[in-house]
Structure 1
Amino acid sequence: MSELLLLFDLLLTVTLLVLATAAIMSREPRRAVILYIAFGLLLALVWARLRAPDLALAEAAIGAGLSGALMLAAARRATAAKRQHASQPGTKGETS
């Protein structure tokens, strides 16, 4: 049984590394936030695996839930502001 748990822990570690790298490298803010939320949920599972249920609940609620929702709202507003700026006349050729 311990080999199975070791394999699970290894898979969890690799998945966390892949999610972290993908979130950092993502050029789309919405995709980066979604990957960050997935990372936070898996990290909550890691805390539960380490027998720290208080940290697992805090990570799931605050790290993935609240922070993720706030970042999704910010990404949505940033995208809307970018579209509005691009649709204004005279701003097509300018760079910020």
Structure 2
Amino acid sequence: MADALVVLSLVLVAGSATAAVLTRDPVRQCLVLSLLGLALAVLFTVLQAPDVALSQVAVGAALTPLLILLTARKVRRRGRDRAE
């Protein structure tokens, strides 16, 4: 049963990583990156590394996508200001 959970988690990580690479829009990519962070946290939990999983949730699923989203918003805003 444990092996099946590990394989399922790895498939989930591989699928979400592939989706993050194939997504072109930065805003959507942030959301997919957040899902990838959650998938990695699940994988770490299944592999019995709860401290690493908590760090992954904080950094990979919350902080990094938020920073990318704020950066994309700022870049888009600057692009509009220069066009005017």
Q: Do Structure 1 and Structure 2 share a fold, with TM-score over 0.5?
A: yes
Structure 2 partner of 1:61 = 58
Once superposed, what is the RMSD of the aligned Cα atoms?
A: 1.7
Structure 2 partner of 1:34 = 31
**Structure 1 runs of 4+ with >4 Å offset:** none
Number of residue pairs matched? 84
- The structure showing larger relative contact order (alpha-carbon pairs under 8 Å, at least 6 residues apart) is 2
- 1:6-65 deviations in Å (ceiling 9; x for gaps): 333333222211211111121100011110011001101111111111100000011211
Q: TM-score, structure 2 length as denominator?
A: 0.83
Larger radius of gyration: 1
Listed as ranges, the gaps of 5+ residues in structure 1 are 89-96
Q: Do the aligned partners of 2:27 and 2:72 also contact (CA within 8 Å) in 1?
A: yes
Instruction: State the identity %.
Output: 33
Q: Which structure is higher in helix share? A: 2
Q: Please, which moves more after superposition, 58-67 or 10-19?
A: 10-19
Listed as ranges, the gaps of 5+ residues in structure 2 are none
